[in-house]
């Protein structure tokens, strides 16, 4: 997890404060493992993106920041590995997810691995047919389905 995600997550989940900074239940910011300069730089970057606000009481998530965190939490739903996955690699899946949706692209790759897909190129994968129904419905919901094309192969793909 990146430092920006950890800071946003910590701001989302905590209500306790120590010296103006929100802290966890133990009174310690969980991003203490990062150099102070990295934390300051990241906080400045998050402020420029209007994701956080500096107030007298400390740093808080802005309205836009809360929407952003909620979107990220909702958009990266985890799916279980389907039961009885075929060993045949008879579905070709290609995708072109825009760079501003990098997290969703990585999420998609992670799930393809979980579903026993094999990467041919970074955005070209082969695996068992079909994709789980709930997964396809979720791709529609988060508007990724238009970025993905699937093709049923006449013969199973053989890894050489």
What's the pLDDT tens digit per position in 29-81? 656 677 878 878 888 899 999 988 877 767 788 899 888 887 766 656 777 77
Regarding whether 101 and 70 lie in a shared domain, the answer is no
Residue 127 lies in a domain: yes
Please write the tens of the pLDDT for every residue from 98-111.
988 888 888 899 88
Regarding whether 10 and 39 lie in a shared domain, the answer is yes
Counting the structural domains of the chain, the total is 2
C-alpha to C-alpha distance for 48 and 160, rounded to whole angstroms: 49
Q: Are 93 and 117 in contact (CB under 8 A)?
A: yes
Residue 71 lies in a domain: yes
Regarding whether 134 and 99 lie in a shared domain, the answer is yes
CATH number, domain at 59?
1.10.10.10
Regarding whether 95 and 50 lie in a shared domain, the answer is no
Residue 129 lies in a domain: yes
CATH number, domain at 113?
3.30.70
Regarding whether 96 and 41 lie in a shared domain, the answer is no
Whether 132 shows a pLDDT value over 60: the answer reads yes
Residue 83 lies in a domain: no
Residue 160 lies in a domain: no
Nearest CA-CA partner of 65 in 8, 142, 6, 7: 8
What's phi and psi for 123, nearest 5 deg? -115, 15
What's phi and psi for 159, nearest 5 deg? -80, 125
Would you call 69 helix, strand, or coil by DSSP?
Answer: helix
Helix (H), strand (E) at residue 113: helix 102-114
Tell me the pTM: 0.54
Whether 122 shows a pLDDT value over 90: the answer reads no
Residue 82 lies in a domain: no
The whole domain housing 108 covers 91-152
Residue 103 lies in a domain: yes
- The angle that helices 63-75 and 3-13 make with each other, rounded to 10 degrees, is 110
Regarding whether 37 and 96 lie in a shared domain, the answer is no
C-alpha to C-alpha distance for 156 and 90, rounded to whole angstroms: 5
Regarding whether 60 and 11 lie in a shared domain, the answer is yes
120: how many CB neighbours lie within 10 A of its CB?
15
């Amino acid at each position: 997890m990146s430092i920006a995600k950890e800071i946003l997550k910590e701001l989302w989940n905590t209500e306790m404060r120590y010296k103006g900074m929100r802290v966890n239940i133990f009174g310690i910011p969980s991003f203490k493992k990062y150099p102070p300069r990295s934390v300051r730089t990241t906080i400045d970057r998050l402020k420029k993106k209007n994701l956080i606000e500096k107030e007298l009481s400390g740093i808080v998530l802005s309205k836009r920041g809360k929407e952003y965190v909620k979107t990220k939490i909702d958009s990266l739903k985890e799916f279980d590995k389907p039961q009885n996955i075929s060993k045949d690699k008879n579905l070709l899946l290609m995708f072109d997810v825009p760079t501003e949706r990098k997290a969703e692209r990585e999420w998609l790759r992670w799930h393809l691995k979980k579903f026993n897909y094999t990467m041919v190129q970074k955005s070209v994968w082969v695996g068992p047919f079909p994709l789980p129904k709930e997964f396809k419905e979720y791709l529609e919901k988060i508007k990724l389905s238009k970025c993905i094309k699937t093709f049923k192969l006449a013969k199973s793909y053989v890894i050489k």
